[in-house]
Amino acid sequence: MTSEMTKTAGVMGWPLSHSLSPRLHGYWINRYGLNADYVDRPVKPEDLEGLLRRLPAECLQKGEVFRGTNLTIPLKETVMDFVDILDRSASRIGAVNTIVMGENGEMVGRNTDGIGFMDSMNEHPDVAALHGGTAVLIGAGGAARAVAVALVDMGFTKILMTNRTRERAEALATHIGETVDVINWQERSECLADADFVVNTTSLGMSGQPPLELPLDHLKAAAIVTDIIYAPQQTDLLKAATSRGNETVEGIGMLLHQAKAGFEAWFGTRPEVDAGLRSHVLEGLKSK
C-alpha cells in the first residue's frame, strides 16, 4: 500500500436504499480531509462471500485499498460463517456489523452496535448513575442482542426482557446469562414498575411499522426511556415518556457512535460525534 492510494470502505446489505451510513462517513471524510471513500454496495446474502473475496484485488486495480465494510440487514449473521477472525464483540453479540481487513488480507469481524449504544448513553450522565439498577429490554431481535450485552457492560444487575416471541427472548436470555429474566409480552406494561431504564429495540414505532403499545402508567418518575429507532427521531414512546416527565434519549446517537470504531480502523483517524454530524445525518433522514 502506498500513501497516495485511496482507502475505501462502505456498507453492504440488501436492500440498501435506507442506509444513512454513506452520509455519516462521508461527513467525516470531508471534515478530516482524508483520501478515503465510503460507498454503498447492495449485495444479496448468497453473493456476499464472493464479493468480499474479490474486492481487495478489484480495488487495487483501481488504485484503491479495500479496508473493510459495514454490514446491515440481512448480512450481519451470514458473514459469521466465513470471516477469518471473529473478535470478542462479535462473538459475544453473535453478529458482525463491521469487517476490518487485517495486514495479511484476513477479514476480521467486529460488532460495534453494543459500544455504540453504550457511548450514546454515556452522553447522558443520569444514565451512568443507574449502575446497579434494573433495565427493561423490549425486543429480542438482532439489535437487542447488542443492546443486552451493552446493558450488562453498563452495570445493570437485572434485565427484564420481553418479546412477542417468547422463545427468542429465552434463547437470548440463555446466551446473556443469569442477569436476564424473561417477562411475558402481555405483562410488558406491568413490569415497568421495576424499571430504572427502559429500551425499545423492536421495530414497533418505526416509520411504516405498527405502533408500540406500551402504557407507561406503572413507570417510576425517575426512570429513563430510550428507543433505538431513529426514524422518526422522536418516537411515540419517547413523546409519551417526555409528556409524563421522564428523561429520554433518542436512537440516533447509537447510529452515530457505532460508526466511530470502523472509521478509525479503516482510515486511521478517530472521528468525533458532534452537533454538526447529528444535524447532517438527521437532514438525510428527511429524504428517506
* Nearest distance from C-beta of residue 8 to ligand NAP, angstroms: 23
Residue 205 contacts residue 228 (beta carbons within 8 Å): no
Q: In a 10 Å sphere around its CB, with 0-12 CB exposed, 13-18 middle and 19+ buried, how is residue 63 labelled?
A: exposed
* Residue 168 found at the interface with ligand NAP (CB under 6 A): yes
Q: Is 163 in the site for ligand NAP (CB under 6 A)?
A: yes
> What does the alpha-carbon distance between residue 46 and residue 81 come to, in Å, rounded to a whole number?
12
Q: Are 110 and 90 in contact (CB under 8 A)?
A: yes
163 versus 246: smaller Cβ distance to ligand NAP:
163
| Chain centroid offset of residue 217 CA | 29
Which residue from 121, 255, 265, 277 is in contact with ligand NAP, where contact means CB under 6 A? 255
Residue span binding ligand NAP (CB under 6 A) among the ranges 41-49, 104-112, 151-159, 250-258 = 250-258
Residue 23: C-alpha distances to residues 8, 12, 18, 27, 277 (Å): 15, 14, 11, 6, 9
Q: Which stretch binds ligand NAP (CB under 6 A): 122-130, 159-167, 173-181, 217-225?
A: 159-167
Size of the site for ligand NAP (CB under 6 A): 24
Nearer to ligand NAP, 222 or 285 (CB): 285
Is 150 a binding residue for ligand NAP by CB under 6 A? The answer is no
Q: Report the distance separating Cα 44 and Cα 111, nearest Å.
A: 20
Q: Which residue is nearest to ligand NAP (CB)?
A: 141
**Where does residue 187 rank: exposed (0-12), middle (13-18), buried (19+ CB within 10 A)?**
exposed
Closest approach of ligand NAP to the CB of residue 107, in Å: 22
Binder among 10, 22, 251, 262 for ligand NAP (CB under 6 A) = 251
Under 8 Å between Cβ of 254 and 116: yes
> Could you tell me the smallest distance in angstroms from the CB atom of residue 267 to ligand NAP?
20
Q: Which of 23, 31, 44, 164 binds ligand NAP (CB under 6 A)?
A: 164
Of 7, 44, 76, 286, which is the active-site residue? Answer: 76
Does 210 sit near ligand NAP (CB under 6 A)? Answer: yes
Helix (H, G, I), strand (E, B) or coil at 213: coil
Q: Which of residues 222-241 bind ligand NAP (CB under 6 A)?
A: 228-230
- Whose grid coordinates read 481487495? 56
Q: Which is nearer to ligand NAP, 24 or 34 (CB)?
A: 24
CB of 251 to ligand NAP, least distance (A): 4
| 108 Cβ neighbours under 8 A, 6+ residues apart | 68, 83, 84, 85, 86, 87, 99, 100, 101, 102
Catalytic status, residue 239: no
Contacts of residue 217, defined as CB under 8 A and 6 or more positions apart, other chains included, come to 189
Candidates 6, 179, 189, 203; binder of ligand NAP (CB under 6 A) is 203
User: Hey, what's the cell of 245?
Assistant: 416527565
Instruction: Compare residues 65 and 249 and give the one whose CB is closer to ligand NAP.
Output: 249
Q: Would you tell me which residues interact with ligand NAP (CB under 6 A)? A: 113, 139-144, 163-165, 168, 201-204, 206, 210, 228-230, 251, 254-255, 258
Catalytic residues: 76
